[in-house]
Structure 1
């Protein structure tokens, strides 16, 4: 299975005879594009915020450093710096006021949406695929009124990127979309079902 996204033209060629499925795929693509746009806007706001914060801190440090052009001391300088402290020489040490922007970006890793790797239509609910899943929320689609439930692999904590979306269709069927590939350790733990 590949992680390459399905192009719109290819989706129309493959699923053109199945308008409901094609509609779901296209609406999923539109939502993905909206999400990417919102992420880009959020990233821009983050960068602007960090730049403003850095600028404010540099302005504060420039206010507190004595000017070389003027020998005149302010009343605050006179109170803070006495002749006795002028004689003491302390080692100068410069510390960065804020971490560089690069380190901030490394700490905040965002997951990108993965391409759909498998689509299953079934009447079985819950569909047994021999993996353990954690409920990750749900939504009701505005246009159709159908409910979608989002799950992520229980081994997500160990780095498994797989998630699935289960959408109830009007005819009692469920459309299950899987994104990503499971880790090898995911299939070692099987769901125990009563016979």
Structure 2
């Protein structure tokens, strides 16, 4: 969607995620959505580096279309040991993810990138998530719900998936995919008022 010259919003959110829209709106930030159109691939191997790299790729893709605007992008990577769990392809893979996560700890890395005329910044939040042991019936029920199909790791902590989790160590909104402590810090660094503060 083209922006009217000299009237772009304070922020362009380079994501179509409704969860990220809700979280950014909760900060009192004026923004429009301009989802990044790119194939998500990174040459990085560590999940934190992958999350940072993909957030930067999304940010740069949108910033190239709207020079001078403040652009924010985010990407989330779920890692169980050395294995990265992306979005499951179907309910069967979703169930497989849940069986692997059951009773174990995993890490969620959410990268945030912000660019403006002042340059660009990127940071990554890390949250340790522990699943409670799940019964076969719980795995089947949640996988059948479809909630996890569009989420890294195959579950949503902000929805039905909250019942899968025993505890977390770190930032809750990082697991949702938009760590607000990082978002606030980077937006303020680029001159965006949060909650009315200049």
TM-score range, shorter chain: under 0.3
The answer to which structure has the higher strand fraction is 2
When the two structures are superposed, what TM-score results if normalisation uses the length of structure 2? 0.23
Higher relative contact order (CA 8 A, sep 6+): 2
State TM-score, norm by structure 1: 0.23
Please identify the structure whose Cα radius of gyration is greater.
1
